[in-house]
């Protein structure tokens, strides 16, 4: 008998897509993943470690991490029973898609945007409809509204958008929210750098879900904490698709302590915001470079050269950026995280060197 491969039993939709992946490189300056360059203060780490030494590791973490929920309610101004916490906001995006999307449903997203929406939509069997940004990489709100309201079952709006940095004009959001009961997901992973949020609509619209993360301004990418804000009744439903005990006691403790000590992070967030616009200006003053406005902690930029050569040239100087040229519309683009003033200067110097003849072929 001819035995077929177990791989043939996998859903065709999964076989057809590529996994989310990121290559590893050696570097001095890491500005490829929009992380905060400043680690959490040592005193805070010590407090978490002290707690970890007294707590049994053989026991499950709390089923409901009350101190984290309370901290988040204080920080966001939203009700604890309308908050869900995930192993990174990635887990919550997955839970939301699992709850809403049936095969053939239409997931509307901007293009380019954070790649995981498309991937998770595909895994759920949805048809992913991409609405291109304008040529300056700002949102085409008319096109997005029109597409979602005419054919969409769910929309994800990333604001500020990764990897382009532009905000969705928050006042336009109500145009969508009031005309449909379909879920509207607003990913505010970079909220602390834009300070623009859709939370004011949560009370009036039960189809709004806002996603946030501890991985960016909060310096906790290594501990994986994200959260979602929504109507409490909806939260009980989305919770069904989330695994129990999805965050460990280390992360719960660190997240709660961090929320009690947000002043510790204020300086680094302010510094990144203060660096951002001058950095964009300096990049634009380099012959050949176009850097786009950003309300996040990263900058999208283009050069006339092959982005792979720019990426390698920067890496030769120890600087690791993200080549985003495989994203829709972004054939010439790379993305750099705004880092410490010192790192930013080194990045700019390296970019200048490359643009002044450090790269051979156009």
Ligand X SMILES: Cc1ncc(COP(=O)(O)O)c(C=O)c1O
**Where does this chain bind ligand X (CB under 6 A)?**
34, 88-90, 114, 158, 162, 187, 189, 213, 215, 221, 226
Query: How far is it, in rounded angstroms, from Cα 177 to Cα 208?
Result: 7
Query: How far is it, in rounded angstroms, from Cα 307 to Cα 304?
Result: 8
Quick one: DSSP state of residue 82?
G
Question: Strands 154-158 and 184-187, how do they pair?
Answer: parallel
Q: How far is the CB of 296 from ligand X (least distance, A)?
A: 8
Residue of this chain nearest to ligand X (CB atom): 88
Cβ-based nearer residue to ligand X, 115 or 282:
115
Which of 158, 225, 192, 196 shows the shortest CA–CA distance to 338?
A: 192
The HSE-up count of residue 312 (CA atoms within 13 Å, CB side) is 7
Strand runs labelled E in 284-332: 290-291, 298-302, 319-320, 322-323
Q: How far is the CB of 156 from ligand X (least distance, A)?
A: 9
Cβ-based nearer residue to ligand X, 194 or 231:
194
Q: How far is the CB of 351 from ligand X (least distance, A)?
A: 22
Query: How far is it, in rounded angstroms, from Cα 305 to Cα 308?
Result: 8
Question: Strands 322-323 and 298-302, how do they pair?
Answer: unpaired
Cβ-based nearer residue to ligand X, 219 or 253:
219
Q: How far is the CB of 258 from ligand X (least distance, A)?
A: 14
Cβ-based nearer residue to ligand X, 89 or 246:
89
Place of tokens 């834009």: 194
Cβ-based nearer residue to ligand X, 114 or 168:
114
Q: How far is the CB of 286 from ligand X (least distance, A)?
A: 26
């Amino acid at each position: 008998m001819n035995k077929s491969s177990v791989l043939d039993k996998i859903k065709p939709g999964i076989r057809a897509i590529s996994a989310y992946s990121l290559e590893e490189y050696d570097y001095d300056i890491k500005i490829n993943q929009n992380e905060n360059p400043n680690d959490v203060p040592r005193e805070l780490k010590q407090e978490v470690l002290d707690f970890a030494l007294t707590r049994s590791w053989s026991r499950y973490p709390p089923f409901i991490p009350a101190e984290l929920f309370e901290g988040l309610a204080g920080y966001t101004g939203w009700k604890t029973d309308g908050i869900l916490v995930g192993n990174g906001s990635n887990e919550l995006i997955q839970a939301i898609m699992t709850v809403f999307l049936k095969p053939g449903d239409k997931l509307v997203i901007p293009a380019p945007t954070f790649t995981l929406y498309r991937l998770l939509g595909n895994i759920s069997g949805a048809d992913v409809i991409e609405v291109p940004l304008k040529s300056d990489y700002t949102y085409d709100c008319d096109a997005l509204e029109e597409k979602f309201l005419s054919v969409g079952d769910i929309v994800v709006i990333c604001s500020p958008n990764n990897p382009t940095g532009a905000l969705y004009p928050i006042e336009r959001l109500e145009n969508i929210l009031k005309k449909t009961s379909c879920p509207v997901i607003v990913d505010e992973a970079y909220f602390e750098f834009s300070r623009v949020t859709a939370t004011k609509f949560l009370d009036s619209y039960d189809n709004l879900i806002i996603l946030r993360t501890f991985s960016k301004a909060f310096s906790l990418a290594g501990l994986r904490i994200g959260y979602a804000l929504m109507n409490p009744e909806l939260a009980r439903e989305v919770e069904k698709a989330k695994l129990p005990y999805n965050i460990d006691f280390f992360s719960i403790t660190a997240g709660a302590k961090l929320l009690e000590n947000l002043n510790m992070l204020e300086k680094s967030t302010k510094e990144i915001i203060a660096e951002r616009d001058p950095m964009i200006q300096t990049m634009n003053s380099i012959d050949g470079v176009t850097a786009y406005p950003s309300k996040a902690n990263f900058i999208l930029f283009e050069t006339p050269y092959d982005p792979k050569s720019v990426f390698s040239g920067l890496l030769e100087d120890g600087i690791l950026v993200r080549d985003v040229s495989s994203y829709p519309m972004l054939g010439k683009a790379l993305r750099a995280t705004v880092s410490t003033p010192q790192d930013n200067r080194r990045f700019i110097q390296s970019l200048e060197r490359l643009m002044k003849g450090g790269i051979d072929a156009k």
